[in-house]
């Protein structure tokens, strides 16, 4: 939505309605990206469990790898919880933007009535109330938008930690003696998945919903 326009201008130009529809589309796309990250985070958890089992088989040669695998499992849990929190914020946004769309359809009726009876006192009062309501709802959406962006940035920092853990696991895998090859495969997959998550988060941060280009 265009913050510089007043509610009256939105009602007259259709920007209020079209901006809400565009925002809803953007939010839906963000939610799809979030679900993709949640799915990938679950894969890390399964992989970490298997890696921990393999590290136990390798014994002392893979103690460091086992510790890092356990940390990656914790990372997976933290990431899923963070992404679910993002999902709750998305649901709030969808609810608010959906109301905006509903109200914009009602505005069309009032707009036609105002054209036919421009001096009607009760109609003018109704339009004034709707102006105030629109401004309040836009402020709420702006607050939710900022909160979501900050939450995405927090998740991005968490993923940077996951990247460090994955790369450290690759180093530890080299000391796994006869298990080095198998451990290396696990660590390579960890690294690849974290990079996939980082790519998804970059897409989220570039969303035009936050003023980006995506």
Query: Long-range contacts of range 133-139, CB-CB < 8 Å, 24 or more positions apart?
Result: 133/7, 133/103, 134/7, 134/10, 134/11, 134/16, 134/100, 134/103, 135/6, 135/7, 137/96, 137/99, 137/100, 137/103, 138/1, 138/3, 138/7
Instruction: Round the CA-based radius of gyration of the chain to a whole number and report it.
Output: 25
What pLDDT tens digit does each residue of the chain (214 aa) get?
Answer: 333 334 344 344 455 567 788 888 889 999 999 988 988 888 899 999 999 999 999 999 999 999 999 999 999 999 999 999 999 999 999 998 888 888 877 777 777 776 776 677 777 777 778 778 888 888 999 999 999 999 999 999 999 999 999 999 999 999 999 999 999 999 999 999 999 999 999 988 999 888 876 6
- The Cα–Cα gap between 37 and 199 comes to 10
- The Cα–Cα gap between 70 and 38 comes to 19
Determine the pLDDT at residue 19: 78
Instruction: Please name the residue ranges forming H helices in the chain.
Output: 7-13, 15-58, 63-116, 121-173, 180-205
Closest by CA position to 163, among listed 138, 131, 130, 199: 199
- The Cα–Cα gap between 208 and 2 comes to 12
Determine the pLDDT at residue 48: 92
List of residues 6+ apart from 90 with CB closer than 8 A: 27, 30, 31, 34, 148
Determine the pLDDT at residue 136: 87
Domain positions in the chain are 15-210
Determine the pLDDT at residue 137: 85
Determine the pLDDT at residue 133: 83
DSSP state of 5: S
CA distances from 99 to 17, 20, 21, 196 (A): 11, 9, 11, 34
0.75 exceeded by the pTM? yes
């Amino acid at each position: 939505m265009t913050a510089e326009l007043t509610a009256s201008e939105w009602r007259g130009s259709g920007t209020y309605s079209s901006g809400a529809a565009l925002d809803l589309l953007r939010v839906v796309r963000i939610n799809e990206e979030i679900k993709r990250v949640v799915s990938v985070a679950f894969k890390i958890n399964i992989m970490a469990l298997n890696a921990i089992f393999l590290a136990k088989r390798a014994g002392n040669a893979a103690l460091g790898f086992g510790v890092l695998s356990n940390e990656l499992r914790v990372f997976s849990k933290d990431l899923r919880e963070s992404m679910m929190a993002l999902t709750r914020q998305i649901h709030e946004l969808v609810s608010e933007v959906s109301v905006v769309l509903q109200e914009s359809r009602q505005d069309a009726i009032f707009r036609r009535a105002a054209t036919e009876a421009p001096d009607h006192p009760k109609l003018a009062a109704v339009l004034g109330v709707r102006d105030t309501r629109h401004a309040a709802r836009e402020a709420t959406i702006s607050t939710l938008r900022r909160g979501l962006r900050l939450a995405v940035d927090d998740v991005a920092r968490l993923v940077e930690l996951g990247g460090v853990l994955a790369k450290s696991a690759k180093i530890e895998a080299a000391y796994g003696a006869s298990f080095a090859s198998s451990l290396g495969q696990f660590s390579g997959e960890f690294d690849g998945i974290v990079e996939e998550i980082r790519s998804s988060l970059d897409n989220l941060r570039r969303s035009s919903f936050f003023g980006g280009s995506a």
